[in-house]
Structure 1
Amino acid sequence: MYQTDPSLPAKETLPTMYDLPSEDPQEPGVPDEFHLFQPRLLQETFCPPNYPVEQVFTASDLNLYYDVRHPLWYKRPDWFAVVGISRLYEEHDLRLSYVIWQEEVAPLVVVELLSPGTETEDLGQTTREINQPPTKWSVYEQILRVPYYVVFDRYTNQLQAFQLIDRHYQKLLFDGSPIWIAELELGLGLWYGRYQGVERLWLRWCDGDANWIPTPVEAERSRAEAERLRAEAERSRAEAERLRAERLAERLRSLGVDPNQL
C-alpha cells in the first residue's frame, strides 16, 4: 500500500502524525481522576538536568504508533518520556500522536498505571492472539526497546520497574528508595503527600540527592516563602539597627552629649 519503486524511506511514505491522531470517538472508556493526576505529577516533576527543556517530550494517554508494517497499530501509555528530541513535532507543532517512524527516537521510560483488567497485559502475562497486535510488554521490550518500563498499582501501592538488559526486561530491586535512572540523572520513587487535594502515595521524580523535584505550584510557594522570610529578616535587621541607634543616643545623652549635634 505504501511501497514505491524505487523504495523510499518509511518517514516519507508512511502516515504521519497528522494522519494518525490520538482522538478516537469510538474508543471506549475515559481516564479516572487518578489517571489524570498521576501523569500530571510525573510531567510536572520530570526535569532531567542533562537535557535542555526544549529537548524533552512527555505525554500521557497519547497514541504511540510503533510498527511500519502495521501503521494503524498503536499503544497508549499512561505516561512516557522521550529525551534528545524536540518538544514540538518538527520543532513547530504540538503532537497529535507519537509516530515512531517519523520521530525515529523511542521513549526512554514508559509508565503504566494498573487498572482492574489490565494487570496481566501490563506485566507481560498475556499471549498474543493470531492476527492481533502484540501486547504492551512485547511492544515496549521487543519492538521499541524502551530502556525503562515502570508499572504502578495504586490499589496495592506496589511499584515494579524493569530495565532492558540484553534485549529483555529484568526486574529492578525496589527497596523503598527511588529507582535511579542514570541516563536522566533522576530517580523515580514513591512519595507520600498531598497533590490535587488528595493525600496518598504518588509516583514522583527526585534529584541525585533524593530531593523530590518541586511542582511549579510548590516552587512558586517556596519562592513566596523565601521572599517572606527575606522581608522578615530585613525588617528584623532594620528594627535591630533602630534599637541600637536609640541605645547609643541614650548613652550619649547620659554623658551630656546631644546626639543630634554629632
Structure 2
Amino acid sequence: MVSQPLDIPLPPTQDDLPCDDGVPMATQRHKLQLDLLLETLQPWLAQRHDGYAGGNMFLYYSMAQVRNQDYMGPDVFVVVDVPKKERKSWVVWEEEKGPDVVIELLSASTARYDKMGKKRLYEQQVRVPEYFWFDPFNPEDWAGFRLVGGRYEPLGVNDAGFLPSESLGLSLGRWSGQYQGVEAVWLRWATPSGVWLPTKDDLLTQERRRAEQERQRAQQEHQRAEHLAERLRAMGVDPDEL
C-alpha cells in the first residue's frame, strides 16, 4: 500500500502534524508505569523555571520521517532548558532541541526493536544524551546508556542500586511497592542520594502528617497554658487579669 503524501506546509509545526495513531498502551502495567514516572517527576519540574516531560506522544526529528509518515514516539521523555507549555507532539526543529532523556518500556513485541532499532535511532539520529529501558513484567531487564563521542556507553549501577541521570541530576531505581492498587517492582525516579521522588499519594500523606503534627503541637501548647493557669490560680493570681 502506497502512503498518500501529507498536504502540510513545510517545515510543519506540531499543529500541522498527526499526534495520534489510535494505538493504545500494551497493558495496564505499562500504562501505570508510564504514569508513575511522569507523576513523580511533576513536583521536580514544578521547582524549575523550565522543562517538559511527556509520554506516549509522537517525536518528530526529521523531514524524511514526516515524508515517510514514520510515526514514532518514546514511552517517556524529558527535556530541560525549554519553556513550560502544552505540546501535542515534540517537533525537534520547532523546539530547536531534542529530548535529554528517553525511557522505553519493554514488552514481548517491542523489546528487540527498543534494544536495537530505537537505541540506534536515539543514538545516531535524534542524539538523545541518555537512553533507558525497563521491562515492567521482568524488572531485571533494565539498562541505561549515555551518549559519549557520538556512541552510547552503558551506565553502571551505583552502590545504592541506581542508574544515574546526569542530564537531570536524578537517578532511576527499582522500587517494590503498590501503585494505584497494583503490587509490583516499578521503575521510579529518585534523588542522587536515593530518596524516591514522591507520588501524589505520598504528598497527601506527608501533608496529613504535617497537619496532625501541627494539631498535636497546638494541643500541647493549650495543655501547657491550662497547666500554667491552674498554678497561677493556686497562688491566688487570676490569669485572666494578667
Fold in common (TM above 0.5): yes
1:56 positional shift: 1.3
Structure 2 residue 70 is the aligned partner of structure 1 residue 73 = yes
Three-state SS of the structure 2 residue aligned to 1:226 is helix
Deviation readout 1:167-198 (Å, 9 max, x if unpaired): 11111112552222233221111122221112
| Bigger radius of gyration among the two | 1
1:150 positional shift: 0.6
Q: Matches of 1:54 and 1:96 in 2, distance apart?
A: 21
1:247 positional shift: 3.9
Residue 14 of structure 2: which of 17, 20, 36 is its match?
A: 17
Residue 48 of structure 1 contacts residue 185 of structure 1 at CA under 8 Å; is this kept in 2?
no
Residue 40 of structure 2 contacts residue 189 of structure 2 at CA under 8 Å; is this kept in 1?
yes
How many residue pairs end up in the alignment?
A: 230
Three-state SS of the structure 2 residue aligned to 1:81 is strand
Distance 1:211 1:52, change over 3 A: closer
1:166 positional shift: 1.5
Alignment of 1:211-230 (within 5 A): 211-230=195-214
Distance 1:50 1:119, change over 3 A: closer
Alignment of 1:243-262 (within 5 A): 243-250=227-234, 252=235, 258-260=236-238
1:33 positional shift: 1.2
1:64 positional shift: 0.9
Q: Matches of 1:150 and 1:70 in 2, distance apart?
A: 23
1:208 positional shift: 3.1
CA RMSD in angstroms, aligned pairs only: 2.6
Residue 169 of structure 1: which of 134, 140, 152 is its match?
A: 152
Q: Matches of 1:54 and 1:74 in 2, distance apart?
A: 30
1:34 positional shift: 1.7
Residue 146 of structure 1: which of 101, 122, 128 is its match?
A: 128
Residue 101 of structure 2 contacts residue 167 of structure 2 at CA under 8 Å; is this kept in 1?
no
1:128 maps to none
Distance 1:31 1:240, change over 3 A: same
Which consecutive residues of structure 2, in runs of 5 or more, have no partner in the other structure?
none
Q: Matches of 2:12 and 2:208 in 1, distance apart?
A: 48
Comparing 42-51 with 106-115, greater Cα deviation is found at 42-51
Percent of pairs identical after alignment?
32
Which consecutive residues of structure 1, in runs of 5 or more, have no partner in the other structure?
3-11, 89-93, 125-134, 253-257
Q: Matches of 1:61 and 1:50 in 2, distance apart?
A: 19
Residue 66 of structure 1 contacts residue 73 of structure 1 at CA under 8 Å; is this kept in 2?
no
Distance 1:232 1:52, change over 3 A: closer
Three-state SS of the structure 2 residue aligned to 1:111 is strand
Structure 2 residue 181 is the aligned partner of structure 1 residue 189 = no
Q: Matches of 1:31 and 1:83 in 2, distance apart?
A: 28
Distance 1:96 1:217, change over 3 A: same
Q: Which amino acid aligns with 1:105?
A: K
Structure 2 residue 236 is the aligned partner of structure 1 residue 239 = no
Residue 113 of structure 1: which of 90, 105, 108 is its match?
A: 105
